[in-house]
Amino acid sequence: MKSVNVGMVGYKFMGKAHSNAYRAVPMFFPQSAKPVMKAICGRDADALEAARAQFGWESAETNWRELVKRADIDLIDINAPSDAHKEIALAAAAEGKHIFCEKPLALTLADSIEMLKAAEAAGVKHMVGFNYRFAPAVQLAKKLIAEGRIGEIYHFRGWFLQDWILDPSFPLVWRLQKEIAGSGSHGDLGAHVIDLARYLVGEFREVIGMSETFVKERPLPTAMAGLSAKGDKDAPRGAVTVDDATLFLSRFENGALGSIEATRFAAGHRCTNAFEINGSKGSIKFDFERVNELQVYFTDDADDVQGFRRVLATDASHAYMDAWWPAGHTIGYEHTFTHEVVELMEAIAEDRPASPSFVDGVACQAVLEAVDRSIAERRWVSLSEFEESR
């Protein structure tokens, strides 16, 4: 059995989720190559040390340029804010390190392509953090489609609905600033839906979208604030430079029709990452707020008992569940990361490409930009305009 030495850049929300996954793999997936938590990296030395101790990393680095050069590191995990992804990834590739990068891969398609090319040139493994693929219920959806049990796909409907910035006095955190985040709900939430659509249905052919920023100015935050920051109504205000909501229609290469929406203004939806797929032989529904469940309908069920089944995807027959608890004992959000790391560890150990890789990161970025262009130019945009992303 192999082990993989990890150096991780970032220690906030995603840094915590990744750390937990690295800790969980050896215990729940002992047959997997083992991630070794060598070093965590961030700029604020005190906060970093606290995170190191809490999350269980062996060492800390305040300069990522030092981290990527360390001989004892096999894999660089990048979950710093999005504007830092590219530079770190390029440096990691140059040092021959495997790379695990959170989504969105970069602020622009061009940057993400550069990252992919660098990783490929270096011959390292690369993975992008589309963790929702790794919910066992989503894995089941994939399996049903792959086995033809849903038939030819006609429709994909996907939403990622949140409400954490609904209050106009919520502060202007980095996720609301284009120069750091790249985009708003589109790149943060829509990217996940786009990835699930590509994973389950296939490639996009053309798109047309619209977007809106409902609250155009917000109080400046006093410090780097997370998802649950409290705003000060009387603080000076700055412009929100990303989208609050982005919707688009699409056609897929296989002829399916798509409708995708990402918003942070859907009151009552804390984290509704949901989709429905309709095919010639059945349908599938998923909602991340009930991450253990998949709704499945088959047209060939007996006439008098046709209906959506609520499958609790916690049986031993469901992906990854054998490693956890007996049937019916649910898992949650964090487990998607654990499964993701298992895939990455296995790819490294077996010397095969990881999935989703930067190829998927680039493809997703192309769709994001195609939608952006369709909004800017108010027209249908074909993915063929982004040939370089194929």
- Choosing from 82, 112, 278, 389, the residue that interacts with its own copies (CB under 8 A) is 278
Residues 318-337 interacting with its own copies (rule: CB under 8 A): 318, 324-335
Q: Give dist(CA 34, CA 16) in Å, integer.
A: 18
Residues sharing a CB contact under 8 Å with residue 167, sequence separation 6 or more, in sequence order: 231
Quickly tell me which residue has 């009552």 as its tokens: 268
201 binds its own copies (CB under 8 A): no
Cβ proximity to its own copies: between 232 and 301 the closer is 301
x-marked contacts with its own copies along 370-389 as a string, rule CB under 8 A: --------xxx---------
Question: Taking contact as CB under 8 A, which single stretch among the options 36-44, 88-96, 196-204, 249-257 is the one that binds its own copies?
Answer: 249-257
Nearest to 195 by CA among 258, 244, 243: 258
- Selected binder of its own copies within 43, 233, 270, 390 (CB under 8 A): 270
For residue 102, the 8-state DSSP code is: P
Angle, CA of 83, 355 and 337, to the nearest 5°:
70
Range 103-162, binding its own copies (CB under 8 A): 140, 143-144, 154-155, 157, 159, 161-162
Please spell the DSSP secondary structure of 215-259, one letter per residue: --EEEPPSS---TTPPP-TTS-EEE--S-SEEEEEEEETTS-EEE
In angstroms, how far is the first alpha carbon of the chain from the final one?
35
Reference 184, options 223, 128, 240; nearest CA is 240
Question: Burial of 202 by CB count in 10 Å (0-12 exposed, 13-18 middle, 19+ buried)?
Answer: middle
Q: How far is the CB of 117 from its own copies (least distance, A)?
A: 34
Whether residue 236 is preceded by a cis peptide bond, meaning omega within 30 degrees of 0, is no
Q: What is the smallest separation between the CB atom of 44 and its own copies, expressed in angstroms?
A: 17
Count other Cβ atoms within 10 Å, centred on residue 287.
Answer: 19
DSSP-derived 3-state class of residue 109: helix
Tokens coding 80 = 């710093």
How far from chain centre, in Å, is Cα 178?
Answer: 18
Q: Can you tell me the distance from the alpha carbon of 261 to that of 194, in angstroms, rounded to the nearest whole number?
A: 10
Nearer to its own copies, 97 or 269 (CB): 269
Binding flag, residue 296, its own copies (CB under 8 A): yes
| 283 near its own copies, rule: CB under 8 A | yes
Stretch that binds its own copies, among 70-78, 186-194, 312-320, 353-361 (CB under 8 A): 312-320
Least distance between its own copies and beta carbon 180 (Å): 18
Write each residue from 157 to 176 as x if it is in contact with its own copies (CB under 8 A), else as -, in one continuous string. Answer: x-x-xx-x-x----------
Token pair 């990522």: residue:
64
Shortest distance, position 309 Cβ to its own copies, whole Å: 4
**Interacting positions 64-103 with its own copies (CB under 8 A):** none
- Residues of span 202-241 touching its own copies by CB under 8 A: 208-210, 212, 214, 226-228
- Amino acid present at 59: S
Residue 14 or 92 with smaller CB distance to its own copies: 14
Question: Between residues 233 and 329, which has the closer beta carbon with respect to its own copies?
Answer: 329
Which residue's CB is nearer to its own copies, number 276 or number 346?
276
On the 0-12 / 13-18 / 19+ scale of CB atoms within 10 A, 305 is exposed
* # residues contacting its own copies (CB under 8 A): 96
Cβ proximity to its own copies: between 73 and 311 the closer is 311
Of the candidate spans 11-19, 77-85, 99-107, 174-182, the one that interacts with its own copies by CB under 8 A turns out to be: 11-19
